């Protein structure tokens, strides 16, 4: 039996993955933002839950303190995220899409790093093909998307940052943990509920069923990585679309950007941890 922490598990992919993992006999720790929805999922599954708003890094710090109570963590699934609307800054001063999709997960992982290394854990990032669709070139000096902002660009940047974080985490600590990312597919969830874009409109019409998959089907990708064996079922440090590697088409030096993104992210969360 594995202990698996899933953020963004109050609905959608996270909740569906939690349900399947519990049915297979695993201990799943539910993390969500909405108190009612998170408690409902946890109660139905008979599993513990924790609340955290990833627009507040202090919440991430408190969450990490709470998660350390568990005897071990075999899998940390950084699944929380979504596409936002107009450019807004969090209370911490960072662009909301960037913080919720990347920076909060970066901080949580690093706050739990000692435990994750000791447990030889797998750290999973829910990325997206949006990295290819919305980003042609990546400017690591503008992760807050202060220039030429669109919600799609910000989301594409954040999903590419998930990939860069996976690469660098594996590069730095691959002898003691496993990092991997995946594209969940185009899923019928509420992930675009805060967006004011065409995507939000689309997800509110019957058209959302065209070319999309259910959260349950998408969740199998997260389940498979959670239970898979690195080197046998998947390659550590890579990003997957189902069982296939997802080619990353962003035109840049990924390795250099991965290192720089780590450095810049560490500076941004320095008040909460020394990395």
Concatenating the DSSP letter of every residue in 192-210 gives: TTT--SHHHHHTTSGGGGS
Which pLDDT score is estimated for 196?
Answer: 54
* Average pLDDT for 202-229: 75
**C-alpha closest to that of 269 among 93, 116, 140, 126:** 93
- What fold characterizes domain 3-270? Rossmann fold (3.40.50)
Buried b (16+ CB within 10 A) or exposed e, 95-123: bbbbbbbbbbbbbbbbbbbebbeebebbb
Q: Which two tokens stand for residue 199?
A: 């995507």
Contact assessment for residue 45 and residue 66, using Cβ atoms and an 8 Å cutoff: no
Q: 70-97, pLDDT tens digit by residue?
A: 999 999 999 999 999 999 999 999 999 9
pLDDT score recorded for residue 207: 41
pTM of structure? 0.91
Report yes or no: 105 and 80 within 8 Å, Cβ to Cβ: yes
CA distance 82 to 108: 17
Q: Could you report the per-residue pLDDT of 1-29, keeping only the tens digit for each?
A: 999 999 999 999 999 999 999 999 999 99
Strand (E) positions, the chain?
3-6, 27-32, 49-51, 75-78, 122-126, 178-183, 239-241, 244-245
pLDDT band for position 199 (cuts 50, 70, 90) = low
Q: Which residues are catalytic?
A: 155
The residue-averaged pLDDT of 173-201 equals: 73
pLDDT value at 197 more than 90: no
Closest by CA position to 98, among listed 58, 148, 157 = 157
In the chain, where are the structural domains located?
Answer: 3-270
């Amino acid at each position: 039996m594995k202990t698996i922490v899933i953020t963004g598990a109050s609905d959608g992919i996270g909740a569906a993955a939690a349900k399947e993992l519990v049915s297979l006999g695993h201990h799943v720790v539910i993390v969500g933002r909405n108190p009612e929805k998170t408690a409902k999922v946890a109660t139905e599954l008979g599993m513990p839950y924790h609340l955290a708003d990833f627009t507040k890094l202090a919440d991430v710090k408190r969450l990490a303190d709470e998660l350390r109570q568990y005897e071990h963590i075999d899998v940390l699934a950084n699944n929380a995220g979504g596409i936002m609307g107009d450019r807004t800054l969090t209370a911490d001063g960072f662009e909301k899409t960037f913080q919720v999709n990347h920076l909060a997960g970066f901080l949580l992982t690093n706050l739990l790093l000692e435990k994750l290394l000791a447990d030889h854990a797998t750290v999973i990032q829910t990325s997206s093909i949006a990295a290819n669709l919305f980003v042609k070139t990546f400017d690591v000096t503008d992760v807050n998307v202060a220039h030429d902002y669109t919600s799609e660009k910000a989301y594409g940047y954040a999903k590419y940052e998930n990939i860069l974080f996976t690469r660098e985490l594996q590069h730095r600590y691959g002898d003691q943990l496993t990092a991997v990312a995946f594209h969940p597919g185009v899923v019928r969830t509420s992930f675009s509920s805060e967006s004011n874009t065409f995507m939000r409109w689309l997800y509110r019409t019957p058209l959302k069923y065209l070319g999309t998959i259910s959260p349950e089907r998408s969740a199998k990708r997260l389940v498979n990585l959670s239970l898979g064996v690195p080197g046998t079922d998947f390659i550590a440090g890579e990003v997957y679309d189902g069982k296939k590697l997802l080619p990353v088409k962003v035109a840049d030096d990924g390795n250099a950007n991965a290192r720089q993104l780590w450095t810049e992210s560490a500076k941004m969360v320095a008040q909460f941890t020394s990395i």
